[in-house]
Chains A and B, each alone.
Chain A
Amino acid sequence: MIVELGHFATVVAFVMALALAGIGYWTAWEGVWRRTAETLAWAQSGAIALGFAALVYAFVTSDFSVLYVAENSNTALPWYYRVSATWGGHEGSFLLWTLVTAGWTAAVALRGTRLPDDILGRVLGTLGLLNAGFLLFLLATSSPFERLVGGPLEGSDLNPLLQDFGLIVHPPLLYVGYVGFAVAFSFAVAGLASGRLDAAWARWTRPWTNVAWAFLTVGIALGSWWAYYELGWGGWWFWDPVENASFMPWLAGTALVHSLAVTEKRGAFKSWTVFLAIAAFSLSLLGAFIVRSGVITSVHSFAADPERGLFILWLLVLAVGGALVLYGLRAPAIGSWARYEGLSREFMLLANNLLLVLALAVVLIGTLYPLAYEAITGGEKMSVGAPYFNTSFVPLALVLAAALAVAPIARWKRTPLGLFARAGVAFAIAVGLGVLLPLALTGTIKLGAVVAVAAGIWIASVLVVDLRHRRGAWTRAYLGMVLAHFGFAVSMVGIGVTSQFSHELDVKLAVGESAQLNGVTYLFRDLRAVQGPNYVADQGVFVTDSGVTLRAEKRRYAAGGQVMTEAGIAAGFARDLYVALGEPLPDGAWGVRINDKPLVRWVWLGALLMAAGGVLAVLDRRYRRLGRRARPSPQTAARAAPATGAQAIS
């Protein structure tokens, strides 16, 4: 009964989303019924929350007469994994997606009280329309509320790969980021439709974009961390199509965060900024299509269903196509150029955008090329591997790092050349340290590590210099920028060092034997059987000569019989020691993989700092004064805009 109520609540939410779309645009047009639109935004998220709660309830009570529960849960599953199993499959995770969309919509209604009617109405209306599409997709092709006739007594269990803390939090964070770009997208649509693409528009859009971007950053970092400890290969990024699907909106979002700065402060790059706002969310939708249609084979993808794929493709075409038609008709064609000189801050931000979009193109082409190839050859398969991505992406990232190092010094309009002297001194120091530090610590010189360490130190030291010489106040926006850029430097050093100085050893070990790697001795001290809540495991206990104990497990899950590797990791700021059990050999010994990974934590630590910086910038005082500077008279503006067209915009 509760499940049926949840289903009904979700249907009601769909109707509310449709109503919100209509009333939101009505508000924008006539300046009336604003309160109704805001209430609908709230009510919609309440209704989906009810539906979601009903599904969680079905999981917690192990109601296997619900098909989705039977396929993704099991009575032996601990309660917290039963809750997280709610978003462990396609249907439930998409219900979460619609809940997150509704949550963002309600947040806009809450925080946007000072937005003029024509903007708020269109933003809420666009979000309502998007969520109506999502909910229709859910109800028509992917209902998690479907009942089984005569359900089984036992469920077939949640995929053991997903029975993990990282996977409890990774999808929700990722979705908050993905769908958060829908807010920027809706602001872009509203800005285009109402003809307000000015500094105020950019100031309204920036906080939403930053927060969504911060969540996506943390979500991606969590996914990478999870892959590192759960897949047992010791890698942390695989250029897997589904990883790329989350990385592409991040690259577009990063470009957008920077381009919005120019639009807010200088009124320039308007068309480009709007385009990025559309692109970031379009790439989120593209990611959803890739993951959920089965169009690209990947370890992450959900079970394929052609009906679903076609439906998402239509959503994609309607949402993105519609926005791009509006863009073609209404984006400012002239007059959005402000004057600036080479090496001004505008120029640096332009360089940032070009590099990020190039990097985005590299990832997009690498991800979709196999698909295009198959379409052209009529079914012949090929794949694009990590070498392509590494050779084309890494140089771009290095140029980006160099630009990023100098950028904080640059001033709007023009930069006194003397300022760059500071960056030059920092550069000399950074190159020196980049060579000396790895040499002193490891005794070898590797180009990749030298470049990464030098770039990281350069970025960090220029930031320190800029902090000291800054004439203005240390606003939160400024400190947020410093923190995020510092985070980039930390990640960069982590990636460079861990990819160059990691050690790896595959070795056959029996209990009592030991192996040496990079000066550390690992003793295979014990092998014991461990009984988990829903699995049995062989646990290898390894002890290093420095006294660290590592427990690596090979788990066999009872319900599905799958075997999972749980690596034993001694995590550290300076380096991780990592042991994974391979296969048992006939003579009682085990295949064992040992990894020594210096600074690998820095990769994710840097991402956390970037996200923290993004959020800190949003807390800046000027965003709290949002509405006060907004121009009134939305009705006249809304009515006049269609007639006067693009000229009114600039």
Chain B
Amino acid sequence: MNRARLFAPLLGFATLAVVLYLGFSLRDPHLLPSALLDQPFPSFDLPVLGSGDRRATRLDLVGEVRLVNVWATWCPTCLAEHDELKRIRDTGLSVVGINYKDDSADAVAWLARHGDPYAFSVVDTDGDLGVDLGVYGAPETFLLDVDGVIRYKHVGAVDEMVWRKEIAPAIAAIQ
């Protein structure tokens, strides 16, 4: 055996590491899957939370730039980002909620207790809209332009850092 051959495992490992890196960067769940980027928000027809029999559809999301936030009462991280959403609402940006796989009575009580940053929330009890949106878990936040086209997606809590570094620049880019 000569010495060069003893470096063969290193070469094999380097190849493996490159494959892992490429596969890994493709799977980055924080990046919007190309399938959804710049696509219209999926159509839906769902009840509005706490409104009796009023329903909302995709058409209720067009007309202005909006944030759409997937939330639930069973999700502690949703509570963690709640104050930031209220602050965003106070800047004048419309925030719409998707109450995801939740109990509606619990959800109404939760909003009463913690405050309601949402213009309205739609009730997605079965998570069908969540499936169309490719939701991994709550919270997730989407930025829609005036035509109701998805321009940005964030997985996990929105905090001030995310707002300043990602969402605000994304809004500026649209306008």
Contact = CB atoms under 8 A, between A and B. Distances in A.
A414 to B, nearest CB: 24
A375 interface: yes
Interface class of chain A by DSSP: helix
Contacts of B6: 271, 327-328, 331, 333
A333 B136 CA distance: 51
Contacts, number: 102
B19 A368 contact: yes
Contact of A306 (B9, B16, B28): B28
A372 interface: yes
Interface stretch (A119-127, A150-158, A211-219, A496-504): A150-158
Interface in B1-32: 1-3, 5-7, 9-10, 13-14, 16-17, 19-30
Contacts of A64: 76
B76 A151 contact: yes
A79 B130 CA distance: 34
A441 interface: no
Contact of B26 (A279, A368, A379): A379
Interface class of chain B by DSSP: helix
Given A156-B76, A333-B2, A324 B26 contact: no
Nearest to B17: A317
Interface residues of A, number: 49
Interface string A372-408: 1011001100000000000000000000000000000
Interface string A269-280: 001000100110
Nearest to B15: A372
Interface string B68-111: 00000011110110010000000000000000010000000000
Contacts of B1: 271, 333-334
Considering residues A306, A321, A646, which has the most beta carbons from chain B within 10 angstroms of its beta carbon? A306
A374 B79 contact: no
B157 to A, nearest CB: 10
Interface string A560-576: 11000000000000000
Considering residues B6, B22, B75, which has the most beta carbons from chain A within 10 angstroms of its beta carbon? B6
B10 A313 contact: no
A54 to B, nearest CB: 20
Contacts of A67: 76-77, 80
29 contacts: A67-B76, A67-B80, A71-B77, A148-B80, A271-B6, A279-B9, A282-B13, A286-B20, A289-B20, A294-B29, A295-B24, A303-B136, A304-B27, A304-B136, A306-B24, A316-B20, A320-B13, A321-B14, A327-B6, A328-B9, A328-B10, A331-B6, A368-B20, A371-B23, A374-B26, A375-B19, A378-B26, A379-B26, A646-B3
Interface of B: 1-3, 5-7, 9-10, 13-14, 16-17, 19-30, 34, 74-77, 79-80, 83, 101, 136-137
